[in-house]
Amino acid sequence: MSEALDVRPGEETVDIPQAGDAALHFIGAIRTPWRTRRDCPRRGDMIEGPVCRVEIAPLWRPALKGLAGRSHAQILYWMHEARRDLVVQTPNHTGRSAGTFSLRSPNRPNPIASSIVALVEVLPDALLVRGLDCLDGTPLIDVKPETCPFDQARPPQGGP
Amino acid sequence: MSEALDVRPGEETVDIPQAGDAALHFIGAIRTPWRTRRDCPRRGDMIEGPVCRVEIAPLWRPALKGLAGRSHAQILYWMHEARRDLVVQTPNHTGRSAGTFSLRSPNRPNPIASSIVALVEVLPDALLVRGLDCLDGTPLIDVKPETCPFDQARPPQGGP
């Protein structure tokens, strides 16, 4: 993305380090109906919305064993279109500047999103889920069983 | 860590890719009372336990603006002692093999942990929090305000 041109009033950037401290392996990709950031829904009611497909790369498919039958999962993914140099930013929908760590904006030093999703189905090569709001083609980083207490307040759902 | 020697019955490993797909920047470090993996408490009651210090590197401290006064935050951190090649593993406490994505084990392709913490205090250079269970010196990846619905069921806490 272009840098200085995109800085809004009230925003602050830093020079991010050239070298990385650790390397991520993308383990799959997320298929959603949204092709541009403008199309993506605002994170809100997390478990509603269309069914999305979380594709797991062949190497990692054996790691899905035991996930079927759970109602929810946590998905970590890489917001590949985000910028990483904003420490203070001014979200469009508020117009007020705030520190990056007080926002869930995609723009952050390590643009990793964490979403709780409802598991609709666990396939051999993919998960069908509800509750994502990301771009089509977003790289997948991790899948974890969900242990957030609010999970227990919901009735068990789907899973083959 | 050593590789083949540590594989338990029922576990499966893969050859992980040499090249990374994206680079993480560590943005700080977590100070806890636990010096070895054996010392770390089992994740359970997430908001109890001792106060830990989440140190923010100087470059990123302006990003804390606006976090004070919130009751909870989500912390992402890098489990630097984990192994990344286990797709099926046998946790000691169950003795049963299960896919990595059905477990919250530190051992996973991208060893990123996600914890909900209670914010005790927001300092200019650190957060004091309850609810972590990680090693002293664990690299910090991200801090986000917590939007999990269970947060709303708890009375507001601390914050300067």
CATH 2.60.260.20 is held by the domain A31-145? no
- Taken in order A16, A18, A22, A28, the sign of the CA dihedral is positive
Closest CA in chain B for residue A108: B142
**Per-residue model confidence (pLDDT) at position A6:** 80
> CB distance A141–B112 less than 8 Å?
yes
ipTM: 0.88
> CB distance A145–B63 less than 8 Å?
no
pLDDT tens for residues A114-154? 999 999 999 999 999 999 989 999 999 999 998 655 444 44
CB crowding B39-75: b at 16 or more within 10 Å, else e: ebeeeeebbebeebbbebeebbbbbbbbbbebbbbbb
pTM for the whole structure: 0.89
How many whole angstroms separate alpha carbon A18 and alpha carbon B54?
24
Q: Please check whether residue A68 is in contact with residue A159, taking contact to mean a CB–CB distance below 8 angstroms.
A: yes
Closest CA in chain A for residue B145: A102
Closest CA to A74 of B152, B74, B16: B74
Q: Is the pLDDT at B4 greater than 60, yes or no?
A: no
**Most B-contacting residue of A84, A89, A97, A100 (CB-CB within 10 A), to test interface:** A100
Residue A64 CA: distances (Å) to CA of A155, B18, B41, B65: 22, 23, 26, 39
